[in-house]
């Protein structure tokens, strides 16, 4: 059973360009979460999605960032007009649905995409 897959593993962009990060959850998992890890910082929650729905985007910056999880295909985190401060490791996690336990799902992480903005 393949784990969470993310691509690309490394992404270099110049300021002002767009970055697209992709995440394929584990087989059978319908919940996807994106986190960002800045140097010397902990993992920070960004957004939580289910198929075709954004459940919680309270951790997303108000501008330039968007996320989707279409019915078919991977989840996409999109960063428009990147700036140097966007340089970080972006991790995707997935979890299976468990009824009766609000928030009680184990989250399994992918290897991350390391974004460098020049």
Partner 1 sequence: QKEVEQDPGPLSVPEGAIVSLNCTYSNSAFQYFMWYRQYSRKGPELLMYTYSSGNKEDGRFTAQVDKSSKYISLFIRDSQPSDSATYLCAKGGDYGGSQGNLIFGKGTKLSVKP
Closest distance of CB 74 from partner 1, Å: 16
Other Cβ atoms less than 10 A from the Cβ of 11: the count is: 18
Closest distance of CB 81 from partner 1, Å: 27
Q: Nearest CA to 49 among 118, 112, 113, 107? A: 107
Phi, psi of 74 (to 5 degrees): -80, 170
In this structure, are strands 65-68 and 88-95 parallel, antiparallel, or unpaired?
unpaired
Q: Which is nearer to partner 1, 19 or 94 (CB)?
A: 94
Given a contact cutoff of 8 angstroms between Cβ atoms, the answer to whether 35 and 88 are in contact is no
Sketch the per residue contact string, 6 through 45, with partner 1: x for CB under 8 A, - otherwise.
x------------------------x-x-x----xxxxxx
Residues from 50 through 109 that contact partner 1 (CB under 8 A): 55-56, 58-59, 91, 93, 95, 101-109
Q: Which is nearer to partner 1, 17 or 111 (CB)?
A: 111
Instruction: Give the DSSP per-residue string, 14-25.
Output: -TT--EEEEEEP
Give the residues lining the site for partner 1 (CB under 8 A).
4, 6, 31, 33, 35, 40-45, 48, 55-56, 58-59, 91, 93, 95, 101-112, 114
């Amino acid at each position: 059973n393949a784990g969470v897959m993310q691509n690309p593993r490394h992404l270099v962009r110049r300021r002002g360009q767009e970055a697209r990060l992709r995440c394929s959850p584990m087989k059978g998992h319908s919940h996807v979460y994106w986190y960002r890890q800045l140097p010397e910082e902990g993992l920070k929650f960004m957004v939580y999605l289910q198929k075709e729905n954004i459940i919680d985007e309270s951790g997303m910056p108000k501008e330039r960032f968007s996320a989707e999880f279409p019915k078919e295909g991977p989840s996409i985190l999109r960063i428009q007009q990147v700036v140097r401060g966007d340089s970080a490791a972006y991790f995707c996690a997935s979890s299976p649905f468990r009824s009766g336990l609000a928030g009680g799902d184990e989250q399994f992480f992918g290897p991350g995409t390391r974004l460098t903005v020049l």
